[in-house]
Amino acid sequence: MNRVLVTGAKGFVGRALCLELMRRGFEVRGAIRSLPSLAVPPETTVVVGDVGADTDWAAALHGVGTIIHLAARAHILRDRAMDPLTEFCRVNLAGSECIARQAVAAGVRRLIYISSIGVNGAETFNRPFTADDAVQPHSAYAISKHRAELALRKIADESALEVVIIRPPLVYGPAAPGNFGQLVRYLLRGVPLPLGAVHNRRSFVALDNLIDLIAICIGHPMAANGVFLVSDGEDISTTQLLRRLGHALHRPARLLPVPAVLLRLAAAAIGKHELAQRLCGSLQVDIVRTREVLDWSPPTTVDDALARTADWYLTHVR
């Protein structure tokens, strides 16, 4: 069956993934929580409501050969939940188990689960993360993603369902949400940033590169039941990222050379330790296994991806 179900089809990755898969000739169905959908033509969407342990996926799964499970409770900057881990697991763990068990009953061949590099850990020091490393999930979100991975592997072991796990680092591209989008807006406004002396090394993944890998994993026989890390294949510092992004935006980055150690101390004093870690710490990803097992290389360079991203923001952000 050539029909692919994409959950989270209204999200940053889901919208672009649905369009690219259709361009490549796949029959795509997008699962969304509620209407309207700007991602996919209405005839190719199914409304499933909230994702959790009791979601009814029957209509969405009819005739589907592959599921790409993107729907998740993601990072929330001001999480007001009394027990964040329970809330993350309600969607990310229980919701993933629910769709996988119904997929088995519906005869789905493969489920591609988009996890997070946070399962490996928050920061690297002497070497990049690999898929074989002992996991060190550092947040409620990452813990929920790891628990979902374990649950999906168990279901795969007990059935004919093939599970593919992809762990991306920060994904950037046109309309990127979160911290990346905020940095773009700062650069567009010419806001001085104290990030001119950060000498870390970080892996990122362009939206186009992540989508290409997902598409490869739909049919590649060696992807079955594997764990794959993904990145652009070039690690850069936060300072380099901002300078190259500023160049793409035609807005030279105004970066103040504040030592990273001072940034970390200042951030810790105001309760922003995690933000400082993401801006100043290193997080490198080894994609050798992904390259060798899947015969895959990132098709888009960092600078080309930043140029495409910049074009979108210059057109849409005022």
Hey, CA dihedral for 258, 262, 267, 270, is it positive or negative?
Answer: negative
Angle at CA 126, nearest 5°, toward 122 and 129? Answer: 50
Q: What are the structure tokens assigned to 202, written together?
A: 């970080």
For residue 27, the SS3 value is: strand
Q: What are the structure tokens assigned to 38, written together?
A: 């700007």
What is the Cα–Cα distance from 65 to 303, expressed in whole angstroms? 35
pLDDT surpasses 90 at 148? yes
Q: Is 141 a catalytic residue?
A: yes
DSSP annotation of 202: B
| pLDDT number for residue 139 | 93
Domains of the chain: 3-167 (3.40.50.720), 177-203+234-318 (3.90.25.10)
DSSP annotation of 222: G
Q: What are the structure tokens assigned to 212, written together?
A: 């290409």
pTM of the model: 0.95
- Mean pLDDT to the nearest integer, 263-292: 93
Which pLDDT band holds residue 1 (cuts at 50, 70, 90)?
low
Q: Which of 141, 172, 186, 313 is catalytic?
A: 141
Burial of 32 (0-12, 13-18, 19+ CB in 10 A): buried
Q: What are the structure tokens assigned to 295, written together?
A: 């015969």
Write the pLDDT tens digit of every residue in 14-62.
Answer: 999 999 999 999 999 999 998 764 545 556 899 999 999 999 999 999 9
What is the Cα–Cα distance from 6 to 71, expressed in whole angstroms? 8
- Omega cis (within 30) before 36: yes
What is the Cα–Cα distance from 154 to 163, expressed in whole angstroms? 10
